[in-house]
Structure 1
Amino acid sequence: MSWQQRISRRLEERAAAQAWRCRSALQPLDGCRIRFEGRDYCNFASNDYLGLSRHPAVIEAWRQGASLYGVGSGGSGHVTGYTPAHQRLEEALAAWLGYPRALLFISGFAANQAVIGALLDKEDRIVADRLSHASLLEAASLSPAALRRFVHNDLPSLAGLLDKPLGGQQLVVTEGIFSMDGDAAPLADIAALTRDRGGWLMVDDAHGIGVLGDEGRGSCHRAGIRPDILVVTFGKAFGVSGAAVLCSESLADYLVQFARHLIYSTAMPAAQAQALHAALAQIRAAEGLRAALQRNIRRFRHGAGLLPWQLAESQTAIQPLIVGDNARALALARQLRARGFWVTAIRPPAVPAGTARLRITLTAAHSETDIDELLEALRDGESQ
């Protein structure tokens, strides 16, 4: 089979499974409005949970950073790309989250790949929640360590895998808030199990940081734990992009020496680091925004609980409606689009087979009217 035949076959299979992915060039208008092909939509697909991507202080910090540093970094942080703006942000993140060190990465995907790729040897074992993000599971599968996956949020399943004989070290991996289901990991119990077995715990808190815990310190702070490795990303509540790894002094030194994604990637622009520093200040003072987000979550769940589809057990901004069938999920998303709501249908392989869903995300920028009108459109979609 030629290259082109292989590509064509796989594209045909993807289309036949109603799993075809598309990108749309969207024009953001404000915290929860977008424009596509001349029409405005209320956006219920964004991870910008606090609306900081359009906060004047964050935008001004980026503008000032660009004026001071330029719009690029010019190289890896190991060459010329590390500036006082990066250093200040790392120090502020470490102090805020209670770690000796923080290291900046260009994305959460890169951070997860870098840590797992640098840390694990062939004698080691990664024990990961089955529903962990693709960046974590892919990094684990590509590492020399053995990958074992425990049943989602199931402590006996985790304990059983941790208790199997092993010659090397164990790294337990989980998300704090799961990106497709919106539910929370039982972090305190996972941390206790991991500690008792002598392992390390790595938590990706992309969807918890900024919106949970005191000052938005995230899922781990709310659970009263400090994992050995904490990954926080800046494309959700921070409203920007990039990521940081929080860890010990020695592990940070190790990653600076051996993490290929850190060594061989162009660093994030200093202007971006300056904008993230401003976003951090906004997050720490955003109790009002977090309260508004929680009110919106409660309002949506109250109404969505009356719909015929399964509402996932989520108390976070991620509110999946499990439709099941791929074609039905796509049809429902199209019906909502016709009513002026931008909602994404998520289908396998991003989620398990038979669990196609509408991944509805709420933000502090949504009004009660926005939520009530979305619920009305969903009720109307039920009857079609």
Structure 2
Amino acid sequence: MTEAEPLQQVDRTFVLHRGRRLSCFSGCDYYRLSSHPAVLDAMRAGLDRFGLNVAASRVTTGHHRIYSTLEKELVKFFRVQAALVVSDGYVATLTVAQALAGNFSHVLIDERAHAALQDAALLMDCPILRFRHRDPEDLAQTIRRCGQGTRLIVLTDGLFSQSGLAAPLKEYLRRLPRDGWMLVDDAHGAGVLGRNGRGTAELEGVNDRRVIRCVTLSKAFGVFGGAILGTAALRKRMFDKSRMLIGSTPMPLPLANAAVAALKVVARDRAMRQRLFRNVQHVREGLRKGGMRVPEAPGPIVAVMPRSHAEAMRLKRHLLAAGILPPFIRYPGGPESGCFRFAISSEHSVRQLDALVRAAIGAVGSRRH
């Protein structure tokens, strides 16, 4: 992999790229809360009131009341027993893994799980087995291969970032032994999926104390930082056992204050979520009418996988001609040859959405998948 070219955001749905102002359908800021006035005001207020940084661990002199406030808001929003804020979403899974290392006989992980979960599995101090992507029956077979007297933990993304598809968490739990646990990286589902935006667990109707959820505050919530959602006992264990938590400085104070504001915006602004999924459906229906087979998925992501290098180049040209940044990416967990990952937001205009649909159909719409 190579470092991507720099982009400069010029407003909520446009970026500056090589001197051109282009519509942007990339990234993960699904509500564009990174530029929401209430979130920016909270960040500025946090900087003025608290300063920038605590410059210490939360187990020494680096605890601050804004972290407690943020954790209370997370508990309220996600309706969980306890929450723990960490510096970012990747760190969240590693913090859990360090706290639970040695507790399980086997880790069972989706073959396309995010790198944060792959690294977390390595810290669990037990054998790692992979099961087929989003396949409950293959998970069941993998569980049987572990034999009797085992204690298992399943690791999976909630919403897979490349496809917009969700993990079948309820089906996984049905196949998991009663003493088995599950660690869900719901970075892309949190704030988006479910009736109230509480993520993949809400979408799947899962409310089980054996399920630990890791979320990020940098995607749907538009800020920065990560959080672990679970039981009070797990929270205490992380403070006792996780060196990553004990030995690190927490997120900057203004960002914690901004995250509190972002949670409140998502909680109260149901119209914003409705607008997001109306935009997603507009794109999917438009592509289907143009002859493209687009799978139904719960997330705000539309993936187009070119069949050849020539087709990829043709779609890039069509997108640029339409004033759209081509979001062609190669990322762990996605297809090796790469794909166009279009991330739809609540703030894209119908004009932008229609331009995207026309460009995609013009390049690849004549084929049949």
TM-score by length of 1: 0.88
1:55 CA drift (Å):
0.8
Tell me how far apart the structure 1 counterparts of residues 36 and 332 of structure 2 sit (CA, whole Å): 35
Structure 1 residue 306: deviation in Å? 4.8
Q: Counterparts of 1:81 and 1:334 in 2: how far apart (Å)?
A: 51
- What amino acid is the match of 2:99? A
Identity in percent? 33
**Could you tell me which of 360, 363, 369 is aligned with 1:381?**
363
Paired with 1:288 and 1:54, the residues of 2 have a C-alpha distance of 17
Aligned to 2:196: 215
Q: RMSD across aligned C-alpha pairs, in angstroms?
A: 2.2
- Kindly state the Cα deviation for residue 167 of structure 1 after the two structures are TM-superposed: 4.9
**Is 1:246 matched with 2:252?**
no
Q: For residue 341 of structure 1, what is the amino acid of its counterpart?
A: I
1:45 match: 26
Which of 16, 21, 30 is equivalent to 1:35? 16
Equivalent residues in 2 for 1:178-217, closer than 5 Å: 178-194=160-176, 196-217=177-198
Q: Is 1:157 matched with 2:138? A: yes
Whether 1:66 and 2:43 are equivalent positions in the alignment is no
Equivalent-residue separation in structure 1 for 2:241 and 2:350 (angstroms): 49
- The 2-side partners of 1:130 and 1:62 are apart by 38
Partner of 2:324: 341
Does the 8 Å CA contact 1:129/1:153 hold for their aligned counterparts? Answer: yes
CA contact (8 A) 2:311 2:363 kept: no
Q: Counterpart of 2:173 in structure 1: which amino acid?
A: A
Report SS of the residue matched to 1:336: helix
What is the alpha-carbon distance in structure 1 between the residues aligned to residue 365 and residue 306 of structure 2? 14
The CA distance in 2 between the partners of 1:133 and 1:77, in whole Å, is 27
Count of residues in correspondence between the two structures: 363
1:324–1:265: structure 2 CA closer, same or farther, 3 Å change rule? farther
Match of 1:104? Answer: 85
1:297 aligns with 2:267: no
* CA shift digits 1:105-147 (9 cap, x unpaired): 1111111122123313286211111221111012213542111
Alpha-carbon spacing, 1:152–1:259, altered in 2? closer, same or farther (3 Å): same
Are the equivalent residues in 2 in contact too, given 1:100–1:249 (CA < 8 A)? yes
Alignment of 1:360-375 (within 5 A): 360-375=342-357
Q: Give a deviation string over 1:1-60, Cα, whole Å, max 9, x none.
A: xxxxxxxxxxxxxxxxxxx53322222122211112321110000211112111111101
Which residue matches 2:71? 90
Q: Which amino acid aligns with 1:294?
A: F
Structure 2 residues without counterparts, runs of 5 or longer: none
Please point out which of 302, 305, 324 is paired with 1:322: 305
Moved more, 139-148 or 270-279: 139-148
- SS at the partner of 1:293? helix
Shift of 1:309: 6.2
Paired position in structure 2 for 1:6 = none
Distance 2:180 2:294 in 1: 35
CA contact 2:169–2:206 (8 Å) conserved in 1 = yes
The answer as to whether partners of 1:333 and 1:358 remain within 8 angstroms in 2 is no
TM-superposition CA deviations, 1:324-383 (whole Å, max 9, x none): 4457435633542343212321236552435x2101110000111111111112233339
CA distance in 2, matches of 1:110, 1:204: 11
Secondary structure of 2:171 counterpart: helix
Secondary structure in structure 2 of the residue aligned to 1:207: coil
Q: Which residue of 2 aligns with 1:138?
A: 119
The answer as to whether partners of 2:97 and 2:123 remain within 8 angstroms in 1 is no
Distance 1:335 1:39 in 2: 15
Q: What are the ranges of 5 or more consecutive residues in structure 1 without an aligned counterpart? A: 1-19
Amino acid at match of 1:178: F
For 1:343 and 1:375, locate their aligned partners in 2 and report how far apart those are by CA, in whole Å.
13
| Cα separation, 1, equivalents of 2:41 and 2:313 | 39
1:115 corresponds to which of 87, 91, 96: 96
Question: Is the contact made by 1:41 and 1:341 (CA closer than 8 Å) also made in structure 2?
Answer: yes
* CA gap 1:148/1:330 in 2 versus in 1, 3 angstroms: farther
Deviation string for 1:167-188 (max 9, x for gaps)? 5521111111111111011122
SS at match of 1:262: helix
- In the other structure, the counterpart of 1:76 is 57
Bigger CA drift: 93-102 or 162-171? 162-171
